[in-house]
Amino acid sequence: MAEYGESLSAREMDVLAQLKLGASNKEIAQNLFISSNTVKVHLRNINTKLGASSRTEALARALEQGLLTITAETQDEPEPTPADALSPEANASTEPTTDEKALSSESTTTQTAPEQAEAASIAPTQSPSKENPAPAPTQRVNIWLIGVILLLTVSLLLIIIIPRFGGIGTADVNNPPLVQDEQIDNTEWYQTSPLPVPRIAANMTTVGSNLYLFGGLDEMQTVQNGSWRFSIEDRTWSPIQNKPTAVSHAASAELTGFVYVIGGNTDENGTRTDNVEVYSPVRDLWRAAADLPQPLSQGVAISDDRSIYYIGGQNSEQISDLIYQYDEVSDSWRTLATLPESMPDASAVLRGNRLYIMGGSATAACYHFDLTTAVWDSCAPLPEPYIINGKSFVIKDKIYLFGGNSAESNLIYDPQNDSWSTLSPPLTLPNGSAVAQIETQIYFFGGEIDGAPNMQGYRYAPLVHQWFLPNVSIDSTETDETE
């Protein structure tokens, strides 16, 4: 908690510098590559530490304490004073040069009759005066040059953008969109657009109505940094900015609109990394975040509105039994809790204020951790032991768990009855698939089949038919909410 008189952090100094420039909260968020909520937290901390109650007062106190300085800005061409305007030197400077006269004469003589008529028709009726001087020839040339530069810039941008996104109004022949996913045997499973390339152990995260996939292993078991966006609307893949560090077996989570890709293996020998890189879908850019407390891979990342939780994983020597919590405002990690037992390759999901951790390569145990009381409790063990690197999601208050080596490993947990059941109808999914959820639907891409990576895409839609009641107010009067 911030206190009065405490020194400002480096990030708070960055925010203060943006305040000095007159930037709004939205502009500060864009310029510093953080969320608007984070900006508000920084501003609140700045006011507390400086003893201010507003942005203006915070700037004034920062100037008083020497945290900011005011630098004078000089103009390259200052406007003349009245005395300058009346001086012979000033009058002489307004006379066109010989080159300017020649350029003016040439532009006049080369103008055709229709052009002269058109120019006369659009010319202003007011004659040039001291208050409304006619533009100098050099000004007309500068405007013409600016127009040419803008035209060249737009043309260059089109040359760069069109090949990248497959042209304007044309379809990518190498990755044709599927108008409709193909239903599998009249079940709740569908086959959707495949990956652009085969991948094993890639990670995938949802932001809005798009899926974002990063890294993984290719056919040669080489770690890759390729990144793609999958549009749910037209079922197409598009390349995005490649991840700076190539990884496989990483974890990822969305927090305040950004994708955090955490840890993973950096080569085929399983070298772990503590690297955390953050992707902005809006700006298609990457930045670095605070490293994990230790190099880890094969852990699980989950987020809520405030934090990211990294559960378990493996380092070069042993299995981690810790849960780390990441705070976006301070850009830091801390140890939140210790697992009740070693659970390598476990699955985890957040339901309400409870973290559920289930199964893995060494146990069929199930536990949940209350984030409010920091208390562990057990839940019914999995009927199918040793579900390795399973993926779990909450749909309509139930937990769906996918993974293992058979279709029977796809399970549903009912927290009300503390019981497990087998998903029906089942579907055997490739090991090492990238999995993510959008609303009540779950998408699976890639994975390993017969020892090789594949490109297949599947969608599970357990709740196709739903009824939604409109939120109609009984009172016909309406009130406006103001901030």
- Tens digits of residue pLDDT in 315-333: 988 999 999 999 999 999 9
DSSP state of 90: H
> Of 64, 81, 109, which closes a domain?
64
Q: Is 293 helix (H, G, I), strand (E, B) or coil?
A: coil
| Cα angle 333, 339, 342; round to 5 | 120
The closest alpha carbon to 268, from 182, 201, 191, belongs to 201
Domains identified in the chain, total number: 2
Let me know if residue 392 belongs to a domain: yes
3-state SS class at 46: helix
pLDDT tens-digit map of 159-198: 555 444 444 433 343 444 444 799 998 899 999 999 999 9
Both 205 and 352 in one domain: the answer is yes
Contact 385, 361 (CB under 8 A): no
SS3 label, residue 339: coil
Tell me, yes or no, whether 104 lies in a domain. Answer: no
The upper half-sphere exposure of residue 223, i.e. CA atoms within 13 Å in the direction of its Cβ, equals 19
φ, ψ at 456 (rounded to 5°): -60, 150
Residues 299 and 262: beta-carbon distance below 8 Å: yes
CA dist list (Å): 337 to 254, 318, 366 = 21, 17, 16
Asked if the structure places residue 352 within a domain, the reply is yes
46/192 same-domain check:
no
In order along its 483 residues, the chain shows pLDDT tens digits of: 677 788 898 888 999 999 888 888 888 988 888 888 888 888 888 888 888 888 888 888 888 888 887 654 444 444 444 434 333 343 444 444 444 433 333 434 444 444 444 443 334 444 444 444 555 555 555 666 677 677 777 766 665 554 444 444 333 434 444 447 999 988 999 999 999 999 999 999 999 989 999 999 999 999 999 999 999 988 999 999 999 999 999 999 999 999 999 999 999 999 999 999 999 999 999 999 999 999 999 999 999 988 999 999 999 889 999 999 999 999 999 999 999 999 998 999 999 999 999 988 888 999 999 999 999 999 999 987 667 668 899 998 899 998 765 545 788 999 999 999 988 877 778 888 999 999 899 999 999 888 889 999 999 998 644 444 444 433 433 334 333
The CA-atom distances, in angstroms, between 57 and each of 43, 54, 63, 86, 340 are 12, 5, 10, 44, 50
If asked whether residues 306 and 442 sit together in one domain, one would say yes
The Cα 266–Cα 277 span in angstroms is: 13
At 145, which helix (H) or strand (E)?
helix 137-164
CB 367 within 8 A of CB 340: yes
Nearest to 382 by CA among 343, 432, 352, 353: 343
What's the confidence (pLDDT) of residue 377?
A: 97
Looking at the domain assignment, is residue 477 inside a domain?
no
Predicted model pTM? 0.64
> Contact, 392 vs 356, CB < 8 A?
yes
Distance, in Å, from the CA atom of 357 to the CA atom of 310, rounded to the nearest integer, reads: 11
In a domain, 115, yes or no: no
- Residue range(s) defining the domain that contains residue 308: 182-460
Look up residue 384 and give its amino acid: E
Domain end call among 46, 64, 82: 64
Q: 41 by DSSP, 3-state: which?
A: helix
Identify the pLDDT of residue 468.
44
How much is the pLDDT for 47? 86
Tokens read off for 97: 């040069």
* 190 and 55 part of one domain: no
For residue 248, being part of any structural domain is answered with: yes
Are the CB atoms for 423 and 379 separated by under 8 Å?
no
- Note whether residue 469 is domain-resident: no
In a domain, 250, yes or no: yes
Contacts of 384 (CB under 8 A, 6+ apart): 364, 404, 406, 408, 409, 411
Q: Name 333's bridge partners.
A: 326
Name the residue among 361, 294, 364, 362 with its Cα closest to residue 333. Answer: 294
Q: Which of 458, 470, 456, 465 is nearest to 425 (CA)?
A: 458
Listed in sequence order, the residues at least 6 apart from 440 whose beta carbon sits closer than 8 Å to its beta carbon are: 395, 396, 461, 462, 463, 466
For the segment 284-293, what is each residue's pLDDT rounded down to a tens digit?
Answer: 999 999 999 9
Can you give 238-270 as a three-state secondary structure string? EECCCCCCCCECCEEEEECCEEEEECCECCCCC
pLDDT, residue 428, reads 79
Buried b (16+ CB within 10 A) or exposed e, 7-44: ebbebbbbbbbbbeeebebeebbbebebbebbbebbbe
Torsion angle, CA of 110/111/112/114, rounded to 10 degrees?
180
Asked which of 28, 48, 64 is the last residue of a domain, the reply is 64
Q: What are the residues whose beta carbons fall under 8 Å from the beta carbon of 364, sequence distance 6 or more?
A: 381, 382, 383, 384, 385, 386, 387
Distance of alpha carbon 454 from alpha carbon 319, whole angstroms:
29
What is d(CA 129, CA 150) in angstroms, rounded to the nearest whole number?
A: 31
Shared domain for 56 and 186, answered yes or no, is no
Residues 45 and 191 grouped into a single domain: no
Q: Phi-psi region for residue 5, left (φ > 0), alpha (ψ -120 to 50) or beta?
A: left
Task: Provide the residue type at 58 as one letter.
Answer: A
For the domain that residue 408 is a member of, what is the CATH number?
A: 2.120.10.80
Beta sheet of 251-255, edge-to-edge order: 251-255, 258-262, 276-280, 285-288
